[in-house]
Amino acid sequence: MNLNLQTPVGEIARFNYKTVEVFEKLRIDFCCGGDISLEEACKRQKVDAEEVLGSIQKLIGSKQNEDDRIHSLPLDQLIDHIVEVHHSYVLESIPVLQRYLNKITDVHGANHPELPVVEDYFNQAAENLLQHMQKEEQILFPLIKEMMAAKTSETEFGGSHCGTVLSPISVMKQEHEAEGDRFEQISGMTNNYTIPADACNTFAYAYQKLQEFEQDLHRHIHLENNILFPEAIKLENELINA
């Protein structure tokens, strides 16, 4: 990869997932906003682009790890990974976070007026993500697996009732962007999940869990936007033109 300041951040993350460590630290959007150049992303975050590029090059030069292996999975196995790891995480984490956010809002809401808003934003995100994942598991993912099966068996692909895989992918990407924006607002309201001086253990845990949820969402969206979706579009074109 010819890595330079003009390389899109999403492409960098796709090439080597270890670079996400750098992007997460600087709060550079490598998933929904991954189509902008590294230079532009650094400019928006007011950080030195050359220093960031150096950090990325250093990471890329180190030994390949498990995250890199995930990037090279066949699409059907990548889908299984997304469902088993990220979808399961969302399903397990939502009720826990809702319970803790509700509790700290009741106890600390008078002194922290941001808490009711954070709770409301998270509840909206939870509802949308549950619907979003259901659509992926019932519509998009089976379609991609069907295309993979056609390629493996070298049989004709009859096409999708959606017309093309681009249609559901477009919807999924729009929904990714909406939830990415929502968590950007949550992060801002919580001062990047900074635990207040008067916070109890429940308060601290809720913020830590909320930050973890956002980080997992970033990785989740990255695997789909930057790897699964482009490869699925490429696969469909190959099958149609075969």
Residue 228 and residue 123 share a domain = yes
Question: Do residues 77 and 167 both lie within one domain?
Answer: yes
Residue 181 lies in a domain: yes
What is the count of structural domains for the chain?
2
What tokens were used for 184? 């950007």
Q: Is the pLDDT of residue 159 over 80?
A: no
Q: Does residue 101 form part of some domain?
A: yes
* Domain presence at residue 4: no
- Exposure string for 102-132, b = 16+ CB within 10 A, e = fewer: bebbeebeeebebbeebbebbeebbeebeeb
* 193 and 215 together in one domain: yes
Q: What is the pLDDT of residue 17?
A: 66
Residue 161 has pLDDT above 70, yes or no: no
- Do both 195 and 106 map to the same domain? yes
Tens-digit pLDDT profile for residues 72-122: 899 999 999 999 999 999 999 999 999 999 999 999 999 999 999 999 999
pLDDT at 63: 47
- The answer as to whether 2 is a domain residue is no
Alpha-carbon distances, residue 128 vs 125, 150, 164, 178, 219 (angstroms): 5, 32, 24, 9, 18
Residues 189 and 207 in one domain: yes
- What is the average per-residue pLDDT within 8-16? 84
Task: For residues 148 and 97, state if they share a domain.
Answer: yes
Choosing from 43, 65, 87, the residue where a domain stops is 65
The burial class, CB within 10 Å (0-12 / 13-18 / 19+), for 25 is exposed
Residue 83 lies in a domain: yes
Which residues span the domain enclosing 90?
Answer: 73-240
Same-domain check for residues 26 and 91: no
Considering the domain architecture, whether residues 177 and 78 belong to the same structural domain is answered as yes
Kindly report, residue by residue over 173-183, the tens digit of the pLDDT: 999 999 999 99
User: Of 31, 46, 65, which marks where a domain is finished?
Assistant: 65
pTM of the model: 0.77
The verdict on 17 and 93 lying in the same domain is no
Structural contact between residues 185 and 121, judged by C-beta atoms closer than 8 angstroms:
yes
- The confidence score (pLDDT) of residue 65 equals 59
